Structure 1
Amino acid sequence: MSDQPSLFDEEMLPQPSVPVSSARTERAPAKAKTGAEGSRQTLRVLHSSDWHLGRLLYGQKRYDEFAAFLDWMLAQIEHLNVEVLLIAGDLFDTTTPSNRAQALYYRFLHQVARSRCRHVVIIGGNHDSPSFLNAPSGLLKALDVHVVGAACDNPADEVVLLKAENGAPEAIICAVPYLRDRDIRQSEAGESLEDKDRKLVQGIREHYAQVCVAAEELRESLQVDVPLIGMGHLFAAGGKTLDGDGVRDLYVGSLAQVGVDAFPDCLDYVALGHLHVPQAVSGCEQIRYSGSPLAMGFGEAKQQKSLCLIEFEGRRPQLELIDIPRFQRLERIKGDQAQLSAALDKLAQEQTSIWLEVLYEGEQVAADLRDWLEQHTDGTQLTILRVRNNRVVERILARSGEEETLDDLEPMQVFERALELHQVPETQQDELKRLFGSVLQSMAEQDHRAE
């Protein structure tokens, strides 16, 4: 139970010393401007997502990295005079986060509440438990932390009004969480996968439209022209992913992706989560994924992670990307035994902690590769997390006559091959695939904390 300490045990969390600023464009933080009648004209918003607290990397715990990132971001909030923090889903990696992951989360929110940041708005992602996020929402609201863990029956309940210190409205947030299949679509017997995709996209569009109508009505009733900011956790068409980044299909058996036209024109900025690569959606700079703060796999090892800082002048957003420092170095090396030996020796000379993925590409099978690597890195700060011996893999596949392994296949692909193997008539396959997809979807969306 050493990795399950009390939620209130702050001694377990490291207090790293991190740089205060790594913004791509260095500039002194500006204080908020006020108009002739004292109304706020500028607002600084920080957009983050996909923390995946508690996530392992090939069995390696990463709590020190998560703690270092959160401490660094807290320093950025102070340094940049951030007034609103948006977290667009997937705060945790599983629906049952460990005590240590929870401690990181609550400790951070407690520290933000004591900072100059006035508001935090959090939405649930597909990895999060809606009931877990929502459970303390009433208590967190007293700290100006607003949580929307799941879609609400009344779309207006996903509209969050933020007020300045003087009580005047300063922004309206359309806090739309990850929309589960059951939230936006009714399954019908005999529907095709194309019908499912169409209904999912239509359901997402309609939900955003309803929430934005409620937000515009609120803004009109207040007679203020404050920014209207959207949030979401979804896969937008044209979004980029990387191999091994851990991004799950949102709707099993479906390729449903929404276009930028799903977000109503009234939104001045849209803060998205789910994809781990920082990016604008279809060239629209005001509709963005902040990306994950840490590399979620070795495929992201060389990728620059960032936060989105948005400064509003009235309703006009100005974007700046804030580079996130690397808290744990990841490296992927490949080659034959001599090339690997040279690469390991070079990395060891740097005398810094490095986690490695090793791809062996030599002509010999090298069945004892793992033992050799462990001996070669003994006494260094190199930690080997994954070894792939391509020669052994090729030999095994050659024996089986196959060009792939079970790990290469998605569950639906395995099911489709089972249908072919058992010679199920094609006239029955679509319905069976639909039913199997529904089972997978139900498993993926099950909230283990709900009662």
Structure 2
Amino acid sequence: MRIIHTSDWHLGQNFYGKSRAVEHKAFLQWLLAQISLHQVDALIVAGDIFDTGTPPSYARSLYNQFIVDIQASGCKLIVLGGNHDSVATLGESKQLLACLNATVIPGALDNAADHVLLVADSHDQPCAIVCALPYLRPRDMVLSESGESSEDKQRKLANEIADLYQRCFAHAQAINNQQTTPLPIIATGHLTTVGASTSESVRDIYIGSLDAFNANLFPAADYIALGHIHRPQKIAKTEHIRYSGSPISLSFDELNSDKSVYLVEFDKANLAEVSALDVPKFQAMASVKGTLAEIASQLETIVAESCDQVTWLSIEVAEQDFLTDLQSRIAELTDALPVEVLQLKRARSQRQQQIQQMDNETLTELSVTEVFERRLAQEDFSEPEQQQRLERVKQQFDIVVDEMNEQLNGTAQHVEEAK
């Protein structure tokens, strides 16, 4: 019996003003090919199908078309809601999709037994039992009580989640006892676990309630397919508790980790092997850091390896001066190259140095414009809308300075006349 474990598709993501539609379409076509190649019995998507609760129409079309296309393989599809997903959006079509061998569980159900699925293979023979748990919203699990501390709320929520897992697992075991041969029991989840390595694009989902779930509280399932963390990884030094990670890089700091889905194979009821199927990179992306000279050198390497594809860039500049014309300098470096700068920022250490330097200076040593420029240098104006805001701020500053100079000149003139 084989499954593919994936998660965090984030269909419809707007990435610094760029659509990921082409990448996601290519990934879904690649995924269908893997399902056929490896004769996969079930595909588990452990949450965050969409990037927002109101995904654009093209993202819904990709999702629906994938469900239609997967039918040819005979592979069963299990879709779990994530914290980015709307329960209503995922739930509106789940009865229709059930007719297409797709089980959709958008949120917590009233009955724990309803989360437990007996999965059949392409020959309609039982091949696995899945405790299909989606993202569990705190409001669906516990009621807040007056006077509770933050620690009390976290402990109560963790206990409720652990209890739900145990009830689902007990029901799965009862179903397993009725089978002629034991089946593997698979659990799912969309949450943060203790020790998981996150990235910039991962949003905290239990703020004020639960920081991270202790992996020791998971039931003794044969495999636990997790979503929410975008870097593929094992949890608690185990082979059977894993995050598959996102199939494409959802932030520039994810470029250093390979993107994959997990092919999970069982020998009867026992976990036999977990293999990472590396997802091809469908969009060239790069993150460069250093001085302007170092960045120029890195750009030459990136262009040489780009294979005529436009590369999306994140640039972090480390310079000793304030570089008030940073935007134009970067434009000079990149205008003639097949690259597009989506993020431009100053090194954090540089911003800290600027703050320390300003602490040692007095206003009498600086002009009004220098004070203004050094304050702007501490901010990150990497987003396109932030660049527009920066230009408006500069224009307004110039107007205010001109008005103040006129008033000062007028006052000085009156003083001279009075003398």
CA distance in 2, matches of 1:166, 1:65: 33
Q: Which residue of 1 aligns with 2:294?
A: 339
Structure ranking higher in helix proportion: 2
Q: Which residue of 2 aligns with 1:360?
A: 317
Q: Which residue of 2 aligns with 1:256?
A: 211
Are the equivalent residues in 1 in contact too, given 2:138–2:209 (CA < 8 A)?
A: no
Q: Measured at CA, do residues 121 and 67 of structure 1 come closer, stay the same or move farther in structure 2, by a change above 3 Å?
A: same
Aligned sequence identity (%):
38
Q: Which residue of 1 aligns with 2:202?
A: 247
Q: Measured at CA, do residues 121 and 397 of structure 1 come closer, stay the same or move farther in structure 2, by a change above 3 Å?
A: farther
Deviation at 1:361, TM superposition (A): 1.1
CA distance in 1, matches of 2:358, 2:61: 49
Deviation at 1:400, TM superposition (A): 8.6
Q: Which residue of 1 aligns with 2:169?
A: 212
CA distance in 1, matches of 2:104, 2:128: 16
Moved over 6 A (4+): 404-407
Deviation at 1:268, TM superposition (A): 1.1
State the aligned residue count.
360
- Aligned with residue 118 of structure 2, among 136, 161, 174: 161
CA distance in 1, matches of 2:309, 2:379: 36
Unaligned runs of 5+ in 1: 1-42, 408-451
Q: In the alignment, residue 370 of structure 1 is paired with which amino acid?
A: Q
Q: In the alignment, residue 232 of structure 2 is paired with which amino acid?
A: P
- Aligned with residue 147 of structure 1, among 104, 116, 124: 104
- Aligned with residue 328 of structure 1, among 278, 283, 293: 283
Q: In the alignment, residue 90 of structure 1 is paired with which amino acid?
A: D
Are the equivalent residues in 1 in contact too, given 2:41–2:122 (CA < 8 A)?
A: no
Q: Which residue of 1 aligns with 2:85?
A: 128
CA distance in 2, matches of 1:141, 1:176: 17
Give 1:280-319 correspondences, 5 Å limit: 280-317=234-271, 318-319=273-274
Q: In the alignment, residue 223 of structure 2 is paired with which amino acid?
A: Y
Q: Which residue of 2 aligns with 1:104?
A: 62
Q: For the pair shown, which has the larger CA radius of gyration, 1 or 2?
A: 2
Are the equivalent residues in 2 in contact too, given 1:334–1:361 (CA < 8 A)?
A: yes
Give 1:50-449 correspondences, 5 Å limit: 50-117=8-75, 119-242=76-199, 244=200, 246-265=201-220, 267-317=221-271, 318-350=273-305, 351-390=308-347, 395=354
Are the equivalent residues in 1 in contact too, given 2:153–2:210 (CA < 8 A)?
A: no
Q: Measured at CA, do residues 385 and 165 of structure 1 come closer, stay the same or move farther in structure 2, by a change above 3 Å?
A: closer
Deviation at 1:222, TM superposition (A): 4.2
Q: Which residue of 2 aligns with 1:448?
A: none
Are the equivalent residues in 2 in contact too, given 1:301–1:329 (CA < 8 A)?
A: no
| Greater relative CO (CA pairs within 8 A, separation 6+) | 1
Deviation at 1:261, TM superposition (A): 2.3
Task: Give the TM-score normalised by the residue count of structure 2.
Answer: 0.81
Q: Measured at CA, do residues 60 and 302 of structure 1 come closer, stay the same or move farther in structure 2, by a change above 3 Å?
A: same
CA distance in 2, matches of 1:67, 1:239: 28
Are the equivalent residues in 2 in contact too, given 1:367–1:392 (CA < 8 A)?
A: no
Unaligned runs of 5+ in 2: 361-374, 381-419
Q: Measured at CA, do residues 257 and 249 of structure 1 come closer, stay the same or move farther in structure 2, by a change above 3 Å?
A: same
CA distance in 1, matches of 2:320, 2:122: 68
CA distance in 2, matches of 1:307, 1:301: 16
Q: In the alignment, residue 31 of structure 2 is paired with which amino acid?
A: M
CA distance in 1, matches of 2:259, 2:122: 32
Are the equivalent residues in 2 in contact too, given 1:201–1:256 (CA < 8 A)?
A: no
How well do the aligned residues superpose, as a CA RMSD in angstroms? Answer: 2.2
Give 1:27-66 correspondences, 5 Å limit: 43-66=1-24
Task: Give the TM-score normalised by the residue count of structure 1.
Answer: 0.75
CA distance in 2, matches of 1:364, 1:144: 61
CA distance in 2, matches of 1:392, 1:169: 60
